Structure 1
Amino acid sequence: MPKVDDLVLFAQVIELGSFSKAAEVNELTNSVVSKRIARLERELGATLIYRTTRRLSLSKAGQVLYQQAQVIAQTSREAFDSVIDFNQSLQGHIKISVPTISGELVLAEAIAEFCELHPDISVDMSLDNRFVDPVNEGYDLVIRTGHLEDSNLVARHILESRWVICAAPKYISCHGMPMQPEDLLKHNCLIYSYQESGARDWLFTRNDTVYPLRVNGSFSTDNAAALRKAALAGHGLAYVPRCLVYPDLQAGTLVEVLPYQVGKVLGIYAVYPYSRQPPRRTKMLIEHIRSRYLDIKHYFNEVDHD
């Protein structure tokens, strides 16, 4: 019967892409790692890994075993981490990346509050709309808005963020209120160029189906705050996350347009690497951040009713 340690080591060799990296992580020699993988192959009676000077590739038997070995390795890590977490004091450093809008709206204050509650924890918060690579760039936690497809990351859903189209009352009074999406083709649409989808393709719903409408306008920017100021000044219609303009909508300095037809809703997630069980301090920060988002969830995802 193969040893569980050998299965975990096999999974690490594949995840890290080389015998030498697995040896380094486990403080073993390359020859010991090779011998243990050879022993695993011998006990199973099958070749698992094809080795060349440049890369490793899995045999069919190796592919089947790797799927199960991943589960075993992850379960082992979580078991050990849970004990470490139990005895772990709340101290240390957390490096986090957050989007600019949420960072300025809620996260700066929320994270500073967390640090005050836990004085032995320090947090380095970077505001960046770019989706950073948590593993290669050394982030313990990333807060991101959007669709996440990377299977190497764990994404904990926090809430939904709805987008709105809005304009200043004086713009509406001069150019009229759009009554259907196609009316936007006659309007100056202010373009937020920092989007994961086409900046000029605004999303709408019709019969429970989301479809894009390509709009045009004289002004575009990758800065959401600049876009908001242009809309407040009456220069056109802006398509932005609702949380950015919530106070303006409440004050009446901006008016929501086509509220029941805009179709862009994105999830906000707390993201960390799949292979790295977050320490207790990071788990607690996630919970703190989530509670602060939920305190102002009405900024993000409610449709105003007149």
Structure 2
Amino acid sequence: MTDTADIRFLLTIQQNGSLIAASRKLGLTASAVTQRLQQIEKKLGSRLVERTARKLTFTEEGMLLCLRGAELIEQLDTLLEDLRIHHGGLVGTLKVNAPLGFGRRYLAPVIADFQQENPDVDVALTLSDQPLTEAADRFDVVVHIGELRASNLVGHTIAPNARFVCASPAFVKRFGNPEQPDDLAGLPCIVLRENQEDVSLWHFSKGKTGRSVRVTSKLSCNDGDVIRRWACEGRGVILRSEWDVADDIRQGRLVRLLPGWKAPDAHVIALTHNRSGLPRRTRNFMQYLQARFKPLPPWRV
């Protein structure tokens, strides 16, 4: 290969999963993508991709080229960015993935301000109800709330965030105030479907004592704002992040239940790739994001 264009071309095919999807991304016809791929294979003397009508599979040589090539591209882009920074501000594209509700309320304003302060940086924000199930290599930063399963990404703490059991005052008046976590099993509850978790099994602790309760839910949704509104309307009990319900508790629209019992924290973290190889724009954005939530996050002010 004489330049990085061929490597970037192959990485686009890998990231999009098919020649047709890659052609849309590149703005080319499918036949043009196929022809270019054949030219690269001829140049290297190796078959890189096995193509059938239904499936596209990279060969061992193709996978090696993409793996090592991605590392080289990242190093080259970082080098070029550092050189350009010496003559001005941050440049390039920053791709961020975040949960729907938190992204709308708290992350979108931060990103807009960051971009305004760094006009040569293009920021692409993607909101998802399951950010961890997205292809992590498509994003520079993935914002996550809660416990992190095994991952090869690097975690950066953004803000503390507790989780509260809540219901409306009208609901408490009708059903009573639960005294123990086990009491929740007999109450109508509302659950949030996210990250393929067991969302109806709620865990609590008081000192060294732990309790887990399986709640009954007739209402569920993958959008936290919906279940919060349902709870405010008196339709059931929710277990929800502090960032989402703190204002409703202050305004009296929701009442915190079981204050003596603690649900597992769900701190806000940001995930990136290897810490040492981050482009300058990503490192600066992480610092900017952390600074915006200090000394206290807005839900605790």
Offset of 1:176 from its aligned partner? 0.7
Against the structure 1 CA distance between its residues 149 and 198, is the aligned structure 2 distance closer, same or farther, given a 3 Å change threshold?
A: closer
Q: C-alpha deviations, 1:38-75, integer Å up to 9, x for none?
A: xxxxxxxxxxxxxxxx769xxxxxxxxxxxxxxxxx9x
SS at match of 1:113: helix
Q: Distance in 1 between matches of 2:279 and 2:166?
A: 42
Matches within 5 A, 1:223-302: 223-274=223-274, 277-294=277-294, 296-297=296-297, 299=299
Task: Within 5 Å, give how 1:162-181 maps onto structure 2.
Answer: 162-181=162-181
Q: 2:136 aligns with which of 134, 137, 140?
A: 134
Q: 1-side partners of 2:201 and 2:246: how far apart?
A: 23
Between Structure 1 and Structure 2, whose CA radius of gyration is higher? 1
Structural mapping, 1:124-203, within 5 Å: 124-130=124-130, 131=132, 132-135=134-137, 138-203=138-203
Assess, with a 3 A threshold, how the Cα gap between structure 1 residues 262 and 207 changes in structure 2: closer, same or farther.
Answer: closer
Shift of 1:166: 0.6
Deviations for 1:114-136, whole angstroms, at most 9, x for unmatched residues?
Answer: 1111111121101113212221x
Structure 1 residues 227 and 295: alpha-carbon distance in aligned structure 2, compared to 1, 3 A threshold: farther
Q: CA separation of 1:274/1:152 partners in 2, compared to 1, >3 Å: closer, same or farther?
A: farther
**TM-score normalised by length of structure 2:** 0.68
How far apart are the structure 1 equivalents of 2:282 and 2:179?
46
Mark the CA change 1:111 to 1:275 in structure 2 (over 3 Å): closer, same or farther.
closer
User: Matches of 1:178 and 1:273 in 2, distance apart?
Assistant: 44
User: SS of the counterpart of 1:161?
Assistant: coil
Note the C-alpha offset of 1:109: 0.6
- Tell me the SS of whatever aligns to 1:110: helix
Aligned counterparts of 2:139 and 2:109: Cα–Cα separation in 1: 20
The 1:275–1:109 alpha-carbon spacing in structure 2 relative to 1, beyond 3 Å, is closer
> Could you report, residue by residue, the CA deviation over 1:251-289 in whole angstroms, capped at 9, with x for unpaired residues?
011100012313221232211222872211111111111
Whole-Å separation in 2 of the counterparts to 1:270 and 1:185: 34
- Correspondence 1:199-210 to 2 at 5 A: 199-210=199-210
Other-structure match for 2:82: 85
Residue of structure 2 equivalent to 1:117: 117
Deviations 1:83-112 (A, max 9, x none): 963762412211111111211221111110
Q: Residue type of the partner of 1:158? A: I
Q: For residues 195-238 of structure 1, what are the alpha-carbon distances to aligned partners after superposition, in whole Å with 9 as ceiling and x for unaligned?
A: 55311101100443544211113212221111011111111111
What is the rounded CA distance, in whole Å, between the counterparts of 2:198 and 2:122 in structure 1? 38
- In the alignment, the residues of structure 1 paired with residue 143 and residue 213 of structure 2 have an alpha-carbon distance, to the nearest angstrom, of 29
Please say if residues 129 and 222 of structure 2, whose CA atoms lie closer than 8 Å, have aligned partners that are also in contact. Answer: no
Structure 1 length-normalised TM: 0.67
- Structure 2 CA distance for partners of 1:282 and 1:234, relative to 1, 3 Å: same
SS in 2 for 1:294: coil
In structure 1, C-alpha distance between the alignment counterparts of 2:148 and 2:271, rounded to whole Å: 9
The answer (yes or no) to whether the contact 2:101–2:223 under 8 Å persists in 1 is no
What's the offset of the Cα at 1:186? 2.1
For the 8 Å contact 1:165–1:262, the answer to whether it is kept is no
- Report the residue type matching 1:85 in the other structure: D
- Distance, in Å, in 2 between the alignment partners of 1:286 and 1:90 is 13
For the Cα contact (< 8 Å) 2:188–2:216, is it kept in 1?
Answer: yes
Structure 1: segments with no counterpart, 5+ residues: 1-23, 32-53, 57-73
Number of residue-to-residue matches in the alignment: 235
Structure-2 separation of matches of 1:213 and 1:149: 22
